[in-house]
Amino acid sequence: MDKRNLWMISALVLGMAAAACAPRYRAPRLAPAGSTGHPTALIRFAAEVEGQRQKGRLAMDVDGSRARVLFLSPLNRVVMELRIERKRALLLNRRLRRYWRGDFAGLVWRMWRLRLDYGELRDLVFNPDGSDALRDRGGMHLDVEKDPATGLPRKLEVSGPSTRLRLSVLRRRRAAGALTYSGGLEGFSRAELDQVIAYED
């Protein structure tokens, strides 16, 4: 076996080991009857961005101006974690042990070539009327299929000049308590956004 093949196999084994060590996603504890808690949703997404395809699942928890979005692998491992505070974003790649801080709208533009701020994305998923404000925005087309029982969006398709993003809400619940972030940045190194973003097929 030549050195190049040995290096490729070693890199593959290390990558699989790192993915296996990533924390497994666990659904949040549900809010007891009569308590408020905060909304949470499990979402499947598929995007075509400038000819490149992405797909996966997101676990999204929102609590007012704060949110957490977990990007999940097919094995239900947390690959990336996005923490949102109003307009600011912190993206952590658990497999690569890297993080990026910056503007949330800029992150969405880089990932999906869409002009969406946090409040607009939150309302698209959790507000029955959240899609109305975006329907007439220039350069963006929006199709929404609502759940007849709740009036909340069940399937959304947002498209632009070079993008088509489809979101399917698989489950909505109310999680117990306020949204909290667990863990700091110990063991992570700061990096450029392109060095942090990773997708799992």
Q: Any idea where the domains of the chain sit in the sequence?
A: 37-196
Choice between 3 and 84, residue whose per-residue pLDDT is larger:
84
Fold classification of 37-196 is outer membrane lipoprotein receptor (LolB), chain A (2.50.20)
Residues 44-99 pLDDT 10s:
999 998 888 888 999 999 998 999 999 998 888 888 999 999 899 999 998 899 99
Q: How far apart are CA 85 and CA 75, in angstroms?
A: 28
- Predicted confidence (pLDDT) at residue 184 exceeds the cutoff of 90: no
Choice between 6 and 188, residue whose per-residue pLDDT is larger:
188
The answer to whether 125 touches 155, Cβ cutoff 8 Å, is no
Q: How far apart are CA 64 and CA 146, in angstroms?
A: 23
Q: How far apart are CA 196 and CA 48, in angstroms?
A: 20
Choice between 53 and 201, residue whose per-residue pLDDT is larger:
53
Highest mean pLDDT among 29-33, 136-140, 176-180: 176-180
Token readout for 129 is: 């009327």
Q: How far apart are CA 106 and CA 103, in angstroms?
A: 5
pLDDT score, position 63:
93
The answer to whether 38 touches 176, Cβ cutoff 8 Å, is no
Token readout for 4 is: 């190049």
Residues of the chain above pLDDT 90, percent: 36
Q: Angle at CA 123, nearest 5°, toward 121 and 124?
A: 65
How far is the CA of 106 from the CAs of 17, 91, 142, in angstroms? Answer: 32, 12, 20
3-state secondary structure of 153: strand
pLDDT score, position 167:
94
